[in-house]
Every structure is written in C-alpha cells, then in structure tokens.
Structure 1
Amino acid sequence: MIRSLFFAPANRPDLVLKFPRFDADCCVIDLEDGTPPGEKLRAREMLHDTVAQVRAAGLHGLLMVRVNVPASPHYLADLQAAFMSDVDGVVIPKLESPEQAFPVVHWIAQRDAAAPRAQPRGIVGGIESVRGVLNAVALCERIAAMGAVYFGAEDYAADIGGRRTPRGDEVHAARSMVVMAAKAAGRIAIDQAVIDIRDDALFLEDAARGRDLGYEGKICVTPGQVKLAHQAFSPTAQERADAQRLVAAYEAAMAQGLGTIDFEGRMVDGPLLKRAQQILAVSVGAP
C-alpha cells in the first residue's frame, strides 16, 4: 500500500532525516529534480551515509532513491550509489521504454542474490511524458520488478504543450490511461502531484478524483500533504462498516444458493462484492 510517495532532495540530509516523523508509506531521496545540477555529484557521494542515518533514525515505511532520467549522464552512477545503500528500490523518472529499466533490473537481481531480504527490492516508475503514456501498457507489463507507477502531470503537460488548470481536465485522458495500464498489470497506481502546497482543499478534491479513477495513493511534496493523502486514500469508518455488512450479507445469501441480493435497497452481485472486499483489504493497513 502506497498512499503517499513523499520526496526530499538528496543534497539536503537535514530534510531527509525528518522522514520518520512524517509517516509516509514510501519516502524518496531525490537525486533528480530536487537536487540542483551542481549538487548532484556531492549528493550521490553522501547517499550511503544519508540512507544509513535515516534508517538509524527509525524509518518504518519504504525508502527509495529517485535517480536521474535514463538518458542522463548521471543515471548509471545514480543506480550504483543507490544499490550500494540500504534502500528498498529506486524510482525511475520519465520512463518511456522497458529497455530503459534493464540496468535497474540487473542491479536488483544482483543485490537480491548477494543480500536477500524478506521484501525484494523494487522499482517505482514515473510515467510523465507523451511517449511514456502511450507506452504505459508495455512498461507495466514488461518490467516485472516495477511494483508501482506514478503519473507525472506537470512534466506530461509540459511535454505535450498544454496548459495546466486546477481541475486538470487537460490531463484526464493520460491520467486514466496510466491507471488502466497499471491495474491491468497488477501494479500500484500513484496519482499526480498538487503543486499548490497551500491549498489543502484543492489537494483533497484532486485526490478524490484520483481515487475515483482507481489510484491508490498520491505524490506528496509537503508533510501536510502526506496526512491528506492518507485521509483521501484510506476507507472511512462508514465505508468499512458498509463493506463489512455487505460481505456478511452476501456470504449468507450464497450459503442459501442466491447469486444476487437486495442489500439495503441496492441489488448486489459479484462486482459490488469485489469492491467491498477491496475496501476491507485496504482497511487492514489503514489507520
């Protein structure tokens, strides 16, 4: 479950060391956009110690490193630095073809063989360009180690030459294509960022639209957004209670040989049962 994907720049260990207090599901040390070009080498050299320090500080969620884009001269060096550290995997931004992930897959196989762990190392892929969106199905199907993807609306809009609006109708088609590709391949789908960091209402509205589409979490750029994402992507107490009653009623009906039931004024069959079961499954890890 990744309800929150929270970033901090790799050249700011002081900010990274605050990860444990924010309780994000997945924290990301960012060597890409968050680290200025002149600081990338130093940040990479500090990475092993930065990771060790944040682990020692008691981080409970996943810890990953976002490397620079595959076409970048930093890409391979970033991967080496990341996998020489105690991370749960890497975030690859602006993925456009499965082949771009081959070096990461190699590193994961090598590190998992040398230092096995209960949870294998993995990949979060960023789908945030026109080509990436058009290739989303292939990316999700062919990169086996990629357990999750996120949709990057800002980079996508810049790539296609569109104008961003608060409601986001201009990215709706691409946003939908990414979540469909992820779900078809059994991957976690993480929704776009809201860069207006002072507008909590906008964040919650956008998160609600993402959840309605099928997204399971959201990119977060502030600690406050982490809390909002957990609120938005965790079932409410009412949703949990409704789901429990529905599952119980359906199981009782099935025991009597009934395939559909009238549950509190609604006709319920297999698809609605599946949705209720999904809510209860998420509730296991939700507050």
Structure 2
Amino acid sequence: MRPLRSLLFVPAHREGWADKAVRAGADAVILDLEDSVPPGLKDQARIVAAATIDSLRTTNPDVTVLVRPNALDTEYFGKDLAAVVRPGLDGLLLPKVYGAREVLDFAALLTHFEIEACLPKGCTEVIPTLETAKSLVNCEEIAAAHPRVASLMVAAARDADVSREVGFEWTAEGLETLHYRSKAVLACRAAGLAHPIVGLWQEIADLDGLRQFAEGNRRLGFAGQVLIHPSHIETVNDVYAPNPEIVDRFRRMIEAFEKAQANGQAAALFEGEHVDIAHVKTARGVVALAESINNR
C-alpha cells in the first residue's frame, strides 16, 4: 500500500460523500459499514459502498479505497465482504481485533471473496485497528500475522472504544497513550511495515490542536492519520508530507555522497556534517516519499 497521509471516514450509506472527500484532497477514503451505519441501513450501505468503489475506480483511480466492515462477532461481516470485495477495493480497515486470529480469519474470507470476484488472490490488503486492550498487548503478532497486513491503525481517541478498554483519561498532550502508540510504531517497523497510522482528532473546529496532535505523532514515527472531517485533510496532508527544505537538503546530501563515492570514498563532508551510507539511505527514503506525493 502506498504511503497515506490522510484517511477520511465516510459513512458508507451516504451517497456522494466519498466524492467530497476526494475533492478535499484525502489520500484515502474509508467507507464505513460499521459504527457510522445504523443496523436498519446496513443493506443499503453495502449497495452504496459497492457503487462508490466502482465509481472511484473510474473517476479517481489514484485514491486509495478502504472499507471498514463489521466485526467478526456480528451477523454482518460476511455480507459486507461479499458486497465490497471487487475491483477498485484496495483494502479493509479491520475493527475489533484482539490478536492474530481475527487477522487470519479475515484473510481467509478475503481469499474466498477474491476468487468469487475473479480477483488475484492476495490483492486486498488489511489494516488492523488497535482499539482493544488485547490488540495493544498483541500488536507485534498482529503486525506479522499475514502478508496481507499493510499497516496498523492505532486508536487514541477520547471517549471511544480504546479509552473505555484501557481506562485512560484523554488529554490533548497524549501522555496517557504515548506508551502504546510508540509500541505500535515499533511493531510496524519490526514487521517491515513502513507507514503506521494513528487516529483520531475529534475536536472538529480546533485546527491548531489537530496540527499539534499530528506533528507529535509524526515525530513519533507515524506516517498518516485517520480523520472524521474533511476540514482536517489539508492540515494533516501538510504535516505528514516531508518539509520541502529538508527534501532539498537531502537531495544535496545525496549528490555530495555520490560524488565522494565516485572518488572511492565511503563518507563525505556535507555542509560541515560527516555523512555515510546510513544517512543517505534515510535521505533517499524521504526524497522518494516527497516525489510520490508530488506525483499524485
């Protein structure tokens, strides 16, 4: 899965809302069949979700399309997957995960529905959500549970499932969730998953608070953020994109190192700093990320 800075939740039964998310600049749209859809509208939501996936595949093929299905302990998940596993779906945001077992169960179901839809087996990725106490404890095994796992999304929201499960009192500073957010980043990196995702900021009008929250998580190692309002997209896209000044500096660093390497040297003096291949690998990764964003 490509790097995703902004992933916007859209209630799956709301026709046209995904198009608004795309126009607002979201890197990914999450069509939500779970919490934001009342039980009586689940069937309608599946129909709208399928039509939205088909539409976005044609009109906005560069936008990542995810679906959050209902959990495995509900009566809905099988119908959810039957409706949305189709060309144009990039992956599932998995709810109510406790350990590797849920990931493996969803992976097996995806294989079945990919075959039914004449899709290549394994083409649909999954992003498990860490929103239960058990999932936070088991995040390492979840990250490594199956090749379909593309990232982890760690929840840190106020008055939501995770705060009830863990029992913390939410603050804007986030010290109460710092340990498990850090643990989730390490779990991703250890499993070779380069783009951990965090969520979410609930204060709709507080864009300064949103920026501080996003900047703190970026410094911690997160690469993107789940959102609930389109007004947050611009801020989050800006925070999680590499700073242009840093990108320019890294380009100069790469050039200086490559010149030194051409002269048989394993290190270079760059703007007063000793740099070697380890620094240049970091620089190349940041430049590649910036170029991938600019080419969208």
Q: TM-score, normalised by structure 1?
A: 0.91
SS of the residue aligned with 2:7? strand
Q: Displacement of 1:59 after TM fit?
A: 5.3
Please state how far the C-alpha of 1:13 moved relative to its aligned partner.
1.6
Amino acid in structure 1 at the alignment position of 2:254: V
Q: In 1, distance between residues paired with 2:52 and 2:248?
A: 43
State the secondary structure of the residue aligned to 1:124. Answer: strand
Q: How does 1:152-171 map to 2 (within 5 A)?
A: 152-154=155-157, 155-171=161-177
Partner of 2:89: 87
1:183 equivalenced with 2:186 (yes/no): no
Q: Summarize deviations over 1:41-79 as a string: whole Å, max 9, x none.
A: 432344323433444554530112101222223222222
Q: Give, as a single letter, the amino acid of the residue that structure 2 aligns with 1:38.
A: G
Q: Structure 2: 5+ residue runs without aligned partners?
A: none
> Which residue is 1:130 aligned to?
133
2:127 matched to 1:120? Answer: no
Whether the aligned pair in 2 keeps the contact of 1:23 and 1:61 (CA below 8 Å) is no
Gaps of 5+ in 1: none
1:199 pairs with 2:206: yes
Deviation string 1:67-96 (CA, Å, 9 cap, x unpaired) is: 122222322222222225742221112322
Residues 110 and 73 of structure 1: is their aligned pair in 2 closer, same or farther, counting only changes over 3 Å? closer
Aligned AA for 1:197? I
What TM-score, normalized to structure 2? 0.88
CA distance, structure 1, for counterparts of residue 81 and residue 113 of structure 2: 12
- 2:60 counterpart of 1:65: no
Q: Distance in 1 between matches of 2:14 and 2:179?
A: 36
| Aligned partner (choices 2, 11, 14) of residue 12 of structure 1 | 14
Partner Cα separation in structure 2 for residue 31 and residue 216 of structure 1: 25
Does the aligned pair in 2 maintain the 1:70–1:92 contact within 8 Å?
A: no
CA distance in 1, matches of 2:114, 2:73: 25
How many pairs does the alignment contain?
Answer: 287
For the 8 Å contact 1:17–1:57, the answer to whether it is kept is no
For the residue of structure 1 that corresponds to 2:289, the secondary structure is helix
Structure 1 equivalent of residue 217 of structure 2: 210
Letter of the 1:159 partner, please give it: E
2:33 to 23, 31, 34: 31
Structure 2 residue 147 is matched with structure 1 residue 144 = yes
Say if 1:156 and 1:168 are closer, same or farther in 2 by CA, change over 3 A: same
CA positional deviation for 1:122: 1.2
Give the drift of 1:175: 0.4
The amino acid across from 2:14 in the alignment is R
**Matched residue type, 2:156:** A
1:266, distance to aligned residue in structure 2 (A): 2.2
> 1:84 and 1:56, CA in 2 relative to 1: closer, same or farther beyond 3 A?
closer
- Residue aligning to 1:235: 242
